[in-house]
Amino acid sequence: MKLIEKTKPERDDLKSSRSGATEGEEGQGADIRSAGYVMGREAEREMRARRMFTAGMMLAVLAGGPAWAQSGVVTIYSADGLHDGSPNWFQTEFDAFTKATGIQVRYVEAGSAVVVDRIEREKANPQADVLVTLPPFIQKAASDGLLQSYTPAAAAEMAARDKDPNGLYYALVNNYANWIYNASVLKSPPATFQDLLAPQFKNKIQYSTPGEAGDGTAVMLNVFQAYGGATPGLAYLKQLQANNLGPSSSTGRLTALVNKGEIWVANGDLQMNLAQMRDNPNIRIFWPAGPDGKRVTLSLPYDIALVKGAPDAENGRKLIDFLLSKEAQEQVAPIAMGIPVRTDVSPAGETYATMQTLLKGVEIWSPDWGNLLANLQTYVTQWRQATGS
């Protein structure tokens, strides 16, 4: 059985060697390649996890419940980002989960909307147990009846904003939208959205497609926020299209293109790009300012859910509990380069400090995802009309 499937090109092209790391830069475009990547305590963590889950299995047996699923496999469909880099948080946790439970993880990766569309197509014969994707696509999956409610053990340790009121999905890793640029080509990042319209960027900018990629949808929404509404935002995106190389259903694949200098600027998200910097030494993170001089970004968490009709639902529940466990969440900042969702986990260390430095001066906002979902198709249609995409 093929346990890892990616519907976009494999990440071999992201494995470029890293060299010339520097320290001491701060703020927008800071070089964070020297951010700590500490795998210490991994063996100890896996040992604790194994003991925790083994104890749980023994209790299940004593209680008369099934200790092992019949298939011994759990299938997760996920948006890209948490499986980037080597090692990465997803694979580290999948390996620990398998060691603890004996359950193999089959991982299928694609764009944020693509994974939801696949579950929709398979609704009559579900193949996935667990879904991980970004807003507003997790809300779409819930609205379309593709998810089943489940209350993870960690729910009591999560803020209300990170939990669906109906128990259909939960935040897994908190994250923020951003842009990246090639620092070997550009000595400083474009300071404003207006700067991205310069002729020098002709065919050197690419952002993932709104309505298909969560990060691409975030680009559209952030531009709306920066320009004070959909109408002026769409007018700007129409102008930007002159420099846009073309559509991309996946955000993650753009990083290698920026790193190699094939394009100079692309969109991304903080967690994914921090993780990718290990293998892509030329990329830097930045946020361009809007007409009012403010830099803004929206909160864009990876959300996790149990798929309705999941063929191995019990295994899916175990995997969700494992990924939301305190021990797994303690590794979100140092390995995944994201923000943990448990209130009893306080991120610290060099990586977290770097994230805070990068975000300094950037205003974080959260849309009304329910209202956005109702208007998303209209916005995407208007974007396609404005850009000719």
- List Cβ neighbours of 51 (8 Å cut-off, separation of 6 or more): none
pLDDT of residue 370: 82
Label the pairing between strands 295-298 and 177-182: unpaired
Q: Which of 128, 92, 88 is nearest to 110 (CA)?
A: 128
Residue with tokens 């960027």: 201
For residue 215, give both structure tokens: 């990060």
pLDDT tens column, 25-78 = 334 443 333 233 223 333 444 444 444 434 443 333 333 333 334 579 999 999
- pLDDT tens for 324-369 read 999 999 999 999 989 999 999 998 888 889 999 999 999 999 888 8
Domains 4-9+23-175+301-355 and 177-300+357-384 are alike in CATH topology? yes
Taking alpha carbons only, the member of 328, 250, 313 closest to residue 75 is: 313
Question: By the 8 A CB rule, do 257 and 206 touch?
Answer: yes
Say what the pTM is. Answer: 0.73
List the domain boundaries for the chain: 4-9+23-175+301-355, 177-300+357-384
Question: 287 near 181, Cβ under 8 Å?
Answer: no
296, 366 in Cβ contact below 8 A? Answer: no
Instruction: For residue 195, give both structure tokens.
Output: 């700067």
Q: From 1.10.3210.50, 3.40.50.1260, 1.10.240.10, 3.40.190.10, which CATH number describes the 4-9+23-175+301-355 domain?
A: 3.40.190.10
Q: CATH number of the domain at 177-300+357-384, please?
A: 3.40.190.10
